[in-house]
A and B are shown apart, each in its own frame.
Chain A
Amino acid sequence: MPVSDGCKYSDWEVLMMDFVVLLKQVPKPKEMRVTAEGTLDRASAPSQINQDCQHALEMALSMKDAYGGRVVVVSMGPPNFQMSHITAMERGVDETVLLSDRKLGGSDTWATGYALSGTLKHIGYSSERNDWLVMGGRQTTDGDTAHVPSQVAENLGIPQVTLVETCEIMDGSAKVRRIVEGGSMDLSMPLPCMLSIAPTAAPLRGRNMKAAVAVKKHVTKDQRGKDTFKEGAPIFRLLSADDVELEGTKIGLAGSPTIVAAAPRVEKASRDLQLTDSDGLIGVVEGWQ
């Protein structure tokens, strides 16, 4: 919890809010290989912080810069998500929390929204407090649904706004700009609230040397040589479904209201790129008929 230093600032507000970021680690889209069975080979693909989540992380960090407070990253996924948590810490995040449990495997967005909101409640973020807000990326490159921010918000019982480009805190509420078809709208959101951040928001900053040095002492290598937090690192919490007291009937494949019944491969209307010039284009177009 943030601790007030007791100072009173008359000219500007130091809010000491917690800016919570939902962050997903995803396989790098371009380096994903397809297995012999036609499924995506997620295990061997190099990973990164999901693109839209990077924008959410940047927004949280810039709000911390502007108003003070802390940035807390919360994820649900396998233990190797710690790699992205370390990347986030190197940019100025204060603490990360990972909900990791085999029981969560196969969760759809409904079950994910339930599990993530349960994690937030467990670590103390409830609709009763107004000194925090939560941000997530618009959507993930591997799931592509854009559902999870809305479903986390519903489970927490807090207002949401999706496709946010900018946000500032004024007079105890979040003033946000949301993209809509053909324009944008400005909204005033009570706190706490959930924001899903648009890919047109500011890109993620680079590594902060001071933060990187600070996090380094908490990091070691796992058996595969990947970065992982040292046991007992005070900046990282690993939680199980039981820790968070999730109901078993609401998580994982069995707890999800949707299933992938089939996923036939589709032959892409393959375009056979022809590089040409304006004279050559006439001949290329003739070949189309």
Chain B
Amino acid sequence: MSDWPEDATVQRFSDATSSEGVMVFAEMVDGHLLNVGRELMGPGREMADHLGVTLSAVLIHHSVGDAPQDLISLGADKVIVVEDARLEHYTTLPYARALSDYLTNVHRPEILLMGATTTGRDLAPRVASRVDAGVTADCTKLSVGPFYHRKTKSVTTHMLEAHRPSFGESKLACIMSNPEQLWAPAMATARPGIFVAPASDSSRTGDVEAFTPDWQDGDFSVEVMDVRRGGGERVDLGHCKIVVAGGIPCGQTGFREIHDLVDALKAQGLDAEWGASRAAVDAGHAPSTRQIGQTGQSIRPPVYVAVAISGAPQHTAGMKDSERIVAVNTDESCTMVQSADAAIIGDYREVVPQLTEKVKSGFTFGL
């Protein structure tokens, strides 16, 4: 992509679009900053440094607490804060108003990143259509580079390269701004758990800017009646060496076999935890704080043991990058078995206790 004829015209993306800077929308839920916002400060800071521009973060919530300083410690030069009592729970229209007003009336960055959460995936395309911007979904890699457009013999440099798996993960598509429809910001959502949050440095300083959008009639026309999120502490499965997850059939025995196996692994000194599929969580067999998948946690542990989980795409989205996958299932043809490194075909009520015995006598899944 870096080869072009000598007589090609060359322009910088930010010059062509009168935009500058990298911006991250850092989502907050129940007064807490989501990890994916922290993670995005990593590629955000890297790209801002590469481009020689500032990194800003946007917070939209009913109360942001210490989040601005958190983001500054993680690398933000500036934090834009939209606080309003009506913003406690995410709904599309007020969040879209806040972001699009800022982009249109105050400052337009060249790059805007969001987490590919249920919020980010809802908000990013809405804002993109409102402010006229291109948006790429579910990126796993972000970089900056030039693009040579043969048709117009022009090169646009310093453009966002938003990489995302496509065609059933067989390819990594690089999505860039169209030189024929060059609009800023170049937007992308990024999957949680892919990027690594930078080390926090509390001595860093930055600006905090309060922003009040020009609220319009209808922005608050959608009413939140009730919100149910799993209670209890969030269990961070991301750091575990081995995660044993159960599907809905494991509920027949209250996940007992799963718990026994994890206890045995812990007794061997392993950093082990248990998780569950969304179906098992919905059926009440496990708290949502342990849900793995698209609307739960995305993890890639050294070993993932999937027990009685068939491998629906919503589940595999949260674990398919695990280093090793061991499946226990009665159905040899299911997706989980077919995409595993090792599989034991059988009833979990027999197989898992056998594995627990092996662990008790020293078997640690190679860890």
Interface residues of chain A, those whose CB is within 8 Å of chain B, are: 29, 32, 34, 38, 40, 108-110, 113-114, 144-148, 150-151, 153-155, 159-163, 175, 178-190, 193, 199-200, 253-266, 268, 271-278, 281-282, 284-286, 288-289
Contact = CB atoms under 8 A, between A and B. Distances in A.
A185 B176 contact: no
A113 B129 contact: yes
A159 B229 contact: no
Contacts, number: 237
B171 A159 contact: no
B253 interface: no
20 contacts: A40-B167, A109-B125, A110-B128, A145-B137, A146-B125, A154-B125, A182-B289, A183-B227, A188-B222, A190-B221, A190-B222, A254-B180, A255-B181, A263-B174, A271-B339, A273-B337, A274-B343, A275-B343, A275-B344, A277-B344
Interface string B172-194: 11111110111100000000000
A272 B92 contact: no
Interface string B5-46: 000000000000000000000000100000000000000000
Contacts of A183: 227-230, 288
Contacts of B117: 181
Interface string B308-346: 000010100000000011100000100001111111111
B227 A185 contact: yes
B358 A281 contact: yes
Contacts of A147: 124-125, 128, 135, 137
A162 B122 contact: yes
Given A151-B128, A179-B118, A257-B183, A159 B92 contact: yes
Contacts of B314: 199
A161 B221 CA distance: 12
A263 B221 contact: no
B138 interface: yes
A284 B342 contact: yes
Contacts of A180: 90, 118-119, 227, 229, 295
A273 B338 contact: yes
The A contact surface, by secondary structure, is mixed
Contacts of B106: none
Nearest to B100: A154
B328 to A, nearest CB: 9
B222 A261 contact: no
Contacts of B165: 266
B172 A276 contact: no
B342 A261 contact: no
Interface in B37-86: none
Contacts of A289: 366
Q: Which of A40, A114, A193 is most buried by chain B, counting CB atoms within 10 A of its CB? A: A40
Interface in B115-135: 117-119, 121-126, 128-130, 132-135
Contacts of B118: 162-163, 178-181
Nearest to A39: B167
Contacts of B358: 278, 281-282
Contacts of A275: 332, 342-345
Given A185-B226, A259-B176, A277 B365 contact: no
Given A40-B167, A182-B229, A185-B89, A278 B355 contact: yes
